[in-house]
Chain A
């Protein structure tokens, strides 16, 4: 094989990347003569790197083909990514391809991608980004996301689009990486924000863009001051409470599209939640925003089938449960509800496994007063003596009946270990997933599970950001109290690409708090069978984002069993009312 010439482009100094000289020729037209090619030519002449003519002639043909590629109206990224997508199991949906085509050819690369939850906004953004990169229009890219989604973005871009991005860690990363994923919260702070403002990005992508709805926030002002050529903003909820939120978001993408705010107010706002001239507004919005809906039938999701598995505790287990519950209630009465978190954990663990309960109780004992200590020691003693676990027995029975792949979710690592111990004793081989594993190990385990494994025992944090569409059975060994976390669990398997109905088995211990939680999540708000698209908005509006568990615990501690159901009913009603309110808001104009 003939010797390749080294890549010289990298050695060209910075000055040559800038324009070589600039003149004005036609009216309004700027001529930019770039020095990159010239400098490279001079360098090759000086160093006597004379290319072999056959390669040179071939390269000319290659250049022509490359330009032909750039000229085509079709999305070349679809062809480019075909094999990668076959390997990764990605199936692009028509609405995603249409959105990407529209953004590139009609919206000039500036758009709010406002598809409803689960329709694949990230895939759309990835296609657009890849297309621009392949066409040579985009090199410098900044992706701003919430901190929790940094790795998910990294992983998606690499796995699905072959785009190697960097994750921002230090202030030097802003200048060194061409494609950078960063947390919006970090980026908006100094010294980072000043560095970023000086840079000129070819493309800016903002995930969870509804966080920029308020134009008085630092986040909004920061994003507004960034220099970019193309911009994509991803959000499922471009309006949450007020039409001004939408106006602000549009102002970030294309200021002036809806006029000044007073014009917008007089032309398009009846009140803060009701639009005027919806058709005209819709027309203007369609020039900057794309929204695909589930009900449009672009995507058919398979069904979620729920199988509650009610487990009766043995008298001994029931006795321990009562002891732990009483202990929690008494402790909370003494300490007030200020330090409720360990008690919530304990209450949830006692419904999961005694091993998990014992470990937490042991930790708590370090800070207990003498009275509590003696009670806790007695409970610990009983926990240690109890060999039976009815929930695990039920799980074993269930697993024996399921012959396909299954993911078992638990909240606790101790329970995870115990489940694996019990199942492996029965001869099942299991794989484990938890938050402490590196991304590489997680991928490897995911691959093992896809190819050979039957059972994967995972904690919630372990499964974050990974998709298991090849599996359609989920067992919730214990129930998370927060519906968002429950949705995340189910969302690992019930998402785009799932071809079979998803079976969800919920192990619920009878006569425990778990039974009430199950009632609230399943019967009351029907969490399992329907996807509540606006769940995050509902929780945000009810100010329940992080305190959902605490609210339930407060209800549980304050009320006796007989009124508990009634109180949970009220709580559920509030959620449903808020959901209805959001549904009925006149947001259907976009």
Chain B
């Protein structure tokens, strides 16, 4: 699970705000220490503040005291201005393309690894080699545990669209580049998006965070307690329909629930290394082999 530490919040918050203005082609000017000013056009202002908003010179700060002294909009956790900006950002599309370049891997090393894999007793010659791209579905999944309290967390899972397997470790973000880049020769998907999502969900619910039954048992206990109170109340009445309605209401409120939804997703094009090989066994028998190596999941496909 990736989650911000409390001390990281101000840094991330500033990054988000300045990146937002940068992507809108706006450059905030620091007019006093800690107070920024930016001219916002009508179109963006309407996105931020609703249809009645006009173009304006927006002053903002991250400091409560400065906000009070200069009348600047305060940007902090919970503030109106932060929420209006977050809302505009979150309105954007939820799907994108990402890629990992072949250059991040050292090809001779990979070749060596592939050849070693075919057994030291065999002699192997590389007849041909090429570079291809595989596809992963990167899912940012929002998981909510709902019982007496609601807890939310975001999980990034990568599902191999050829095998349908979920990658057991995270891909380091610095390897990932935006867009499709110069991706050519893409290997066809064998796994549907729906299947990939389903596999990701199966994987997620087996992680220790969700597999521990402690929280569900506690919540269920509360639900049972409330239900018995309810029963005592309705014992004296003959309103069975209202009773079942109230039980349903109680269940919605107290019974433990895990809610999962996709927040964002991307098709991640990853490098694949293809080798056409001649394998000579100790007996002298020659075989032609094709090997496709996926360095992301460290998987070979041999035929």
Residues of A within 8 A of B (CB): 1-2, 4-5, 7-8, 21, 25-34, 36-38, 40-42, 44-45, 49-72, 74, 76-84, 108, 134-135, 137, 224-225, 227-229, 251, 254-257, 259-263
Establish whether residues A263 and B232, one from each chain, have CB atoms under 8 Å apart when the complex forms: yes
Say whether A25 contacts B210, CB under 8 Å: yes
Nearest Cβ on chain A to B222's Cβ, whole angstroms: 10
Q: Are B12 and A259 in contact (CB under 8 A)?
A: no
Instruction: Indicate if the CB atoms of A30 and B178 lie closer than 8 Å.
Output: no
**Please, which residues of chain B bring their CB within 8 A of the CB of A4?**
47, 88, 91-92
- Whether A55 lies near B23 (C-beta < 8 A) is yes
Partner of A25 from the list B82, B205, B219 (CB cut-off 8 Å) is: B205
Additional 7 contacts, C-beta under 8 A, given A30-B258, A31-B258:
A21-B198, A51-B93, A53-B96, A56-B93, A57-B178, A70-B150, A259-B233
Instruction: For the complex, give the distance between the alpha carbons of A42 and B264 in Å.
Output: 11
Q: How far is the CB of A468 from chain B (nearest CB, A)?
A: 25
* B contact set with A: CB distance below 8 Å: 2-4, 9, 12-13, 15-16, 19-20, 23-26, 41, 43-44, 47, 73-74, 76-80, 82-83, 85-86, 88-98, 140, 142, 148, 150-154, 178-179, 193-194, 197-198, 201, 205, 210-211, 213, 216-217, 219-220, 226, 228-236, 242, 245-246, 248-249, 252-253, 255-266
Q: Does A26 lie within 8 Å of B93, measured CB to CB?
A: no
Q: Is the CB of A55 within 8 A of B194?
A: no
Task: List 21 interface pairs A-B (beta carbons < 8 Å), by A numbering.
Answer: A1-B41, A1-B43, A5-B92, A5-B93, A21-B198, A28-B217, A29-B258, A34-B259, A41-B262, A51-B92, A54-B23, A62-B89, A65-B12, A65-B86, A79-B76, A82-B74, A108-B148, A135-B150, A256-B229, A256-B230, A261-B236
| Cβ–Cβ contact B92 & A70, under 8 A | no
Determine the chain A residues whose CB is within 8 A of the CB of B260 once the complex forms: 31-34
Q: CA separation between A108 and B226, bound complex, in Å?
A: 13
CA distance A525 to B300 in the complex (A): 93
Docked complex Cα distance between A4 and B44 (Å): 10
Inter-chain CA distance A254–B226, complex, in Å, is 9
Contact (Cβ within 8 A) B96 A52: yes
A29 and B214 alpha carbons, distance in the complex (Å): 11
Identify the 6 closest CB pairs spanning chains A and B, nearest first.
A53-B178, A37-B262, A256-B229, A76-B78, A51-B93, A79-B78
Residue of B76, B97, B248, B265 with most partner-chain A CB within 10 A: B265
A227 to B248, CA, bound (A): 9
**Is the CB–CB distance between A255 and B78 below 8 Å?**
no
In the complex, how many angstroms separate the beta carbon of A79 from the nearest chain B beta carbon? 3
Q: Are B98 and A64 in contact (CB under 8 A)?
A: no
Partner of B9, one of A68, A74, A81: A68
Closest-CB distance, A502 to chain B (whole angstroms): 30
**Could you tell me if B249 and A28 are in contact, using CB atoms closer than 8 angstroms?**
no
**In the assembly, what is the distance between CA of A34 and CA of B91, in Å?**
19
- Closest B residue to A64 by CB, please name it: B4
- Closest A residue, CB atoms, query B194: A38
Given contact pairs A30-B255, A108-B253, A261-B236, A49 touches B93 in the complex (Cβ within 8 A)? yes
Whether the pair A1, B252 counts as a contact (CB closer than 8 A) is: no
Contact A80 B78 (CB under 8 A): yes
Pair A83/B73 contact, Cβ less than 8 Å: yes
Choice from B98, B248, B264 contacting A59 with Cβ under 8 Å: B264
Q: Are B264 and A25 in contact (CB-based, < 8 A)?
A: no
For residue A8, which residues in chain B have a CB less than 8 angstroms away from its CB? 93-94
B78 contacts which of A38, A74, A227 (Cβ < 8 Å)?
A74
On chain B, the residues within 8 Å of A42 by CB distance are 193
* Contact B264–A60 (Cβ < 8 Å): yes
Give the residue of B23, B73, B76 whose beta carbon is less than 8 angstroms from that of A58.
B23
Asked if A68 and B242 make an inter-chain contact with CB atoms under 8 angstroms apart, the answer reads no
Docked pose: A50 CA to B26 CA in angstroms = 23
Q: Which residues of B contact A84 (CB under 8 A)?
A: 80
Is the CB–CB distance between B152 and A70 below 8 Å? yes
What B residues does A55 contact at CB under 8 A? 23, 89, 92-93
Q: Say whether A56 contacts B9, CB under 8 Å.
A: no
Cα distance, A228 to B252, chains bound together (Å): 9
Known contacts A1-B26, A137-B150; is A65 also within 8 Å of B16 by CB?
yes
- A56 vs B98: C-alpha distance in the bound complex, in angstroms? 10
Q: Which residue of A lies closest to B40 (CB)?
A: A1
A77: chain B residues within 8 A (beta carbon): 78
Q: Which residues of B contact A49 (CB under 8 A)?
A: 93, 95
Q: When chains A and B are docked, how far (Å) is the Cα of A53 from the Cα of B96?
A: 6
Taking CB as reference atom, which chain B residue is nearest A56?
B96
Please name all residues of chain B whose beta carbon is closer than 8 Å to the beta carbon of A25 when the two chains form the complex. 205, 210-211, 258
Taking a contact as CB atoms under 8 Å apart, the answer to whether B263 and A69 are in contact is: no
CA distance A68 to B226 in the complex (A): 30
Taking the nearest CB of chain A, how far is it from the CB of B252, in angstroms?
A: 6
Question: Is B90 within 8 A of A26, CB to CB?
Answer: no
Give, as a whole number of angstroms, the nearest-CB distance from A498 to chain B. 24
Q: Are A41 and B92 interface neighbours, CB within 8 A? A: no
Known A-B contacts A42-B193, A83-B73; the reply to A65 vs B13 at CB < 8 A is yes
CB distance from B11 to the nearest CB of A (A): 11
B residues in contact with A135, CB < 8 Å = 150
B12 contacts A64, C-beta separation under 8 Å: yes
Contact A58:B20 (CB < 8 A) given known A255-B233, A256-B231: yes
Judge whether B77 and A56 touch: CB under 8 Å: no
Closest residue of chain B to A258 (Cβ to Cβ) is B233
A41 / chain B contacts, CB cutoff of 8 Å: 94-95, 193, 262, 265
Is the Cβ of A67 less than 8 Å from the Cβ of B262? Answer: no
Q: Which residue of A lies closest to B179 (CB)?
A: A53
Most buried by A among B76, B148, B261: B261
Task: List residues of chain A with CB within 8 A of the CB of B23.
Answer: 2, 52, 54-55, 58
Residue of A nearest to B95 (CB): A44
Report if A260-B93 is in contact (Cβ < 8 Å); known contacts: A27-B217, A38-B262, A65-B82: no
Q: Are A54 and B140 CB-contacts (below 8 A) given A4-B92, A44-B94, A61-B16?
A: no
What are the residues of chain A within 8 A of B220 when measuring CB–CB? Answer: 27-28
Say whether B93 contacts A44, CB under 8 Å: yes
Query: In the bound complex, how far is the Cα of B299 from the Cα of A475, in angstroms?
Result: 87
